[in-house]
Amino acid sequence: MEEVTRLTVSSLLLAGLYAVMAYGLGLIYGVLRVVNLAHAGMIMGGAYLTWVLHGRLGIDPYLSIPVVMGAFFVFGVVLYKGLVRFLPRGAAGGGQSLLLLFGVWLLMRNAAYLLFSGNDQAVRTGYSTQGLRLLGVSVSVNRVAVFVIALIALGALHFFLTRTYLGKAIRAVAQNPDSCLLVGIDVERVYALTFGIGSALGGLAGLLLSTIFAFNPSSGAVELLKSFVVVVLGGLGSVVGIALGALVLAFAESFSILVLPSFLTAAVGFVLLVIVLVLRPGGLFGQRVLG
Amino acid sequence: MRRLASWLPEWASPWAAAGFVVVLVALYALPLVVVLDPYTHGILTQTFMFVAAALAWNWLGGYVGQISFGHAAMFGVGGFVTARLLLSTDLPFFAAWVVGGLVAGVYGLLWGHPTLRLRGPYFAIATIGVGEATRLVATFWSSFTGGSSGISLPIPSGDFKQALYWYALYFMAAVVLLSYYLRKSRIGLGLLAIKGDVDAAGDVGVSATFYQDVVLVLSGIVVGISGGFYASFFSFIEPSDMFGFERSISLVLMGVIGGIGTILGAALGAVVYVILQENLIASYPDLYLGLYGLLLVAVILFEPLGLSGLLMRGARLVGYRPGAGVAAGGIGGAAATEATGGAPEEEPTLEEARP
């Protein structure tokens, strides 16, 4: 029973991180209809930027959030303006942008490899090893902090998308870009902004990840897959859908430890994906994202 | 030419057939006429194998438009099944390749049948998952794959490496013929229809599920045989190389650099890949991923049809007009001809358009 409580708490905390990861991917896909494979590179890059800021300048990982998010926002906007803008979007150009962003990911991986070598790195702070009691089980401070920050980020994003002019413009463009042009929304600017926000979320996910797990230049592939699983599970409709998808994935992964050898947990996400696609191709909550 | 043409099915071009026979004979005779040093000999053998694998990837990535980042799974399954068969049974090596290929094909169907109902980007990401999951299982299943230390194969007598050249050539020739058949026959038209518009293809009686499953199984068999051949050629295999993400990427790169959806393109792509791998990468091992990334970005931005697109540009300069079949490559069905930079198009479906 104590094992179950422990797994419940840890999957709940993990779900926050998954939701942030997935929202970056889902937002870009929902608005631009482009699957950002470079998202994996953003996550990896965010982790390394955090590591550099902490190791070289001594900035606490959680204090460097604005820097990391800002840097990846700019990177995303530049990526959009410099490359993605020139490709057809939507069903016709899906393959092209996919391969292009895949190329960008390879470049990012190679850059990280040249800069930091291929060794595993981790961000270690004074409180990395400290724990606290939660529901009768002890969890590390970092995991709780990551969860809280993820909740704040998702809340802020929800507020931004539903209450501000720009956020509403992004949602309008997602629904119908042509009509947006007619009513005077600068669609190109909204696209650039969306790509920036999605990238910033990728960077934030990398930052949060780096405080808990070790990483290396090829990190990000697994996280990309998990983000994708969450998007398929939860749909693109809302923050709530994404959060539920993240919960399902985190619980499935954590509880699989009870029945599966530990090296197979990474495969759980994929198996879950296939099961959902076979049984409910429209996603768990009916928000159709496929086809 | 005309008399010869009456032999061929109506969809086959006599010029293509003639070119195929000439190249095949020339390559067959090459080691008999010229004394090749072992290095060149080995490189040519590898190139034939990679041409076959790249063509097989292209059936799925180019003909149907389903880009797979997980073909290493089949490559590895084929390789390890072959290796285990050669180690524990008396099967001749070519039979072991075929069995390895068949197992890989079945494995492909196993994950492909559920995932192929996804289209485009969704399928691509799902295949990343397939590749990673397979690699993890293979690395930890050390009683079968030897874990991270890999397994060594018995090295046959001295002439074996020489003989592999011709085996690779026959294999490649068979795969080229099959590629041509899959492109030009009725099946090829069906695949093209699926690539253009799945729903419309379904309306005219092309079963997307069936066609895609068939193509994936064939692709898996050929890639699996390539894996088995690779195991025989190097006499040593290990999971992180056979199942690695880099292995999957290499197939994507061959297809895209050469020109996705074309036969000549995939073949050229494999040749360029081997040349790059041997010359550039060997001198700058730290830069290979970045170099491939750069190549991908450049090809997508400037010439989505890759090297075969460049060739076609050259052909147009001298006044040759390629037929519709030649121009049918490209990444998305209509992507090659569509103006770039447009807004995402959401055509209203019939249902929505009705008042």
Which carries the bigger pLDDT value, residue A39 or residue B276? A39
Contacting residues for B256 by C-beta, under 8 A, at least 6 apart: A99, B269, B296, B299, B300, B306
* Token pair listed for B24: 């095949």
Residue A41 — φ and ψ, nearest 5°?
A: -65, -35
Biggest alpha carbon–alpha carbon distance for chain A: 59
Does residue A95 fall inside a structural domain?
Answer: yes
In which band, very low, low, confident or very high, does the pLDDT at B343 lie, cut at 50, 70 and 90?
Answer: very low
Q: Inter-axis angle of helices B38-58 and B263-276, to 10 degrees?
A: 140
Q: Per mean pLDDT, which range of A62-76, B83-97, B207-221 is the poorest?
A: B83-97
List, as own/partner pairs, every contact residues A188-193 make where C-beta atoms lie below 8 angstroms and the sequence separation is at least 24, other chains included: A188/A85, A190/A31, A190/A166, A191/A31, A191/A32, A191/A80, A191/A85, A192/A77, A192/A80, A192/A81, A192/A85, A193/A77, A193/A166
Q: Please indicate whether, in this complex, the C-beta atoms of B294 and A85 are within 8 angstroms of each other.
A: no
pLDDT surpassing 50 at residue A61: yes
Q: Is B280 at the interface with chain A, CB within 8 A?
A: no
Query: Do the chains contact at A94 and B245, CB–CB below 8 Å?
Result: no
Reported as a single tens digit per residue, the pLDDT across A151-191 is: 999 999 989 988 999 999 998 888 888 888 899 899 999 99
Asked if B122's CB is within 8 angstroms of A232's CB, the reply is yes
pLDDT at B206 over 70: yes
- One-letter amino acid of B122: Y
SS (H, E, C) B155-217: CCCCCHHHHHHHHHHHHHHHHHHHHHHHHHCHHHHHHHHHHHCHHHHHHCCCCHHHHHHHHHH
Please tell me which residue of chain B has the smallest CA distance to A280. B114
Q: Do B133 and A110 touch (CB under 8 A)?
A: no
Say what the pLDDT of residue B323 is.
Answer: 58
**Could you tell me the pLDDT band of residue B81, with boundaries at 50, 70 and 90?**
very high
B-chain CB neighbours of A35 within 8 Å are 121-122, 124-125
Q: What would the two tokens of residue A228 be?
A: 């994708």
pLDDT-based confidence at residue B346 (cuts at 50, 70, 90): very low
Q: Say what the alpha-carbon torsion angle A184, A190, A191, A194 is, to the nearest 10 degrees.
A: -160
Query: Is there a contact between B220 and B104 (Cβ–Cβ < 8 Å)?
Result: yes
How far apart are alpha carbons A227 and A289 in whole angstroms?
Answer: 14
Contacts of A278 in chain B (CB under 8 A): 114
* Residue A54: both structure tokens together: 């902490």
Which token pair is B263? 């036969």
Number of structural domains chain A divides into: 1
Alpha carbons B262 and B179: distance in angstroms, whole number: 9
**Contact B257/A at CB under 8 A:** no
CB atoms within 10 A of CB B156: 14
B245 with A92: Cβ contact below 8 A: no
Question: Does residue A133 lie in a domain region?
Answer: yes
Query: In chain A, which residue's Cα lies nearest the Cα of B130?
Result: A270
3-state secondary structure of A87: coil
Residue A286 pLDDT grade (very low, low, confident, very high; cuts 50, 70, 90): low
Q: What is the pLDDT of residues A124-145, one digit of tens each?
A: 887 777 777 777 778 888 888 9
Chain A, 151-180: which have a CB under 8 Å from a chain B CB? 176-178
Query: Would the CB atoms of B294 and A107 count as touching at under 8 Å?
Result: yes
User: Nearest-CA neighbor of B231 among B87, B90, B37, B331?
Assistant: B87
The per-residue pLDDT for B3 is 58
Contacts of B292 in chain A (CB under 8 A): 103, 106
Candidate ranges A48-57, A226-235, B9-18, B292-301; pick with highest mean pLDDT: A48-57
Query: Among residues 305-324 of chain B, which lie with CB inside 8 Å of chain A?
Result: none
Q: Residues 6 or more apart from A75 whose CB is under 8 A from it? A: A42, A45, A199, A203
The CATH code belonging to domain B14-325 is 1.10.3470
DSSP B63: I
- Contact (CB<8Å) B297/A107: yes
- Specify the pLDDT at position B351: 36
Nearest one of A108, A110, A111, A116 to A52, comparing CA atoms = A116
Q: Is residue A204 part of a domain?
A: yes
Write down the domain spans for chain B: 14-325
Helix H or strand E encompassing A132: strand A131-134
Q: CA-to-CA distance for A128 and A124, rounded, in angstroms?
A: 6
Domain housing A107 = 15-219
Q: Does residue A281 form part of some domain? A: no
Chain A residues closer than 8 Å to B68 by CB: none
**Cβ–Cβ under 8 Å, residues B238 and B231:** no
Q: Give pLDDT tens digits for B237-266.
A: 888 888 888 888 889 888 888 888 888 888
CA pair distance B331, B67, nearest whole angstrom: 9
Dihedral angle sign, alpha carbons of residues B43, B46, B51, B57: negative
Closest by Cβ to B343, choosing from A89, A107, A114: A89
The CA distance from B55 to B60, in Å, is 9
Within-domain flag for A143? yes
Q: What is the C-alpha to C-alpha distance for residues B272 and B256, in angstroms, rounded to an integer? A: 11
B344: nearest CB among A83, A90, A277: A90
Distance separating alpha carbons of residues A82 and A198, to the nearest angstrom: 16
The pLDDT value given to residue A65: 93
Q: What's the mean pLDDT in B221-226? A: 95
Instruction: Tell me whether residues A222 and B132 touch, CB distance under 8 A.
Output: yes
Residues 192-221 of A with CB under 8 A from B: 218, 221
Distance, in Å, from the CA atom of A83 to the CA atom of A36, rounded to the nearest integer, reads 12
Give the N- to C-terminal CA distance of chain B in Å, as an integer.
Answer: 59
Q: For residue B344, what pLDDT is reported? A: 37
Contacts of A194 (CB under 8 A, 6+ apart): A27, A28, A31, A32, A170, A173
- Write out pLDDT tens, residues B153-172: 877 766 777 888 888 999 99
Asked if residue A229 belongs to a domain, the reply is: no
Most confident of A103-117, A218-232, B81-95, B194-208: A103-117
pLDDT band at A285 (very low <50, low <70, confident <90, very high): low
Gap between the Cα atoms of B291 and B149, Å rounded: 29
How many A/B residue pairs have CB atoms within 8 Å? 179
B154 vs A: CB within 8 A: no
The shortest CB-CB distance from A98 to any of B121, B130, B245 is to B121
Question: Are residues B287 and A110, on separate chains, in Cβ contact within 8 Å?
Answer: yes
Distance from CA of A86 to the nearest CA of B (A): 5
B229 touches chain A (CB under 8 A): no
Domain contains A228: no
CA distance A73 to A65: 12
Instruction: State how far residue A198 is from chain B, nearest Cα, in angstroms.
Output: 17
Name the residue facing A274 among B114, B290, B295 (closest C-beta). Answer: B114
Distance CA(A49)–CA(A203), nearest Å, equals 9
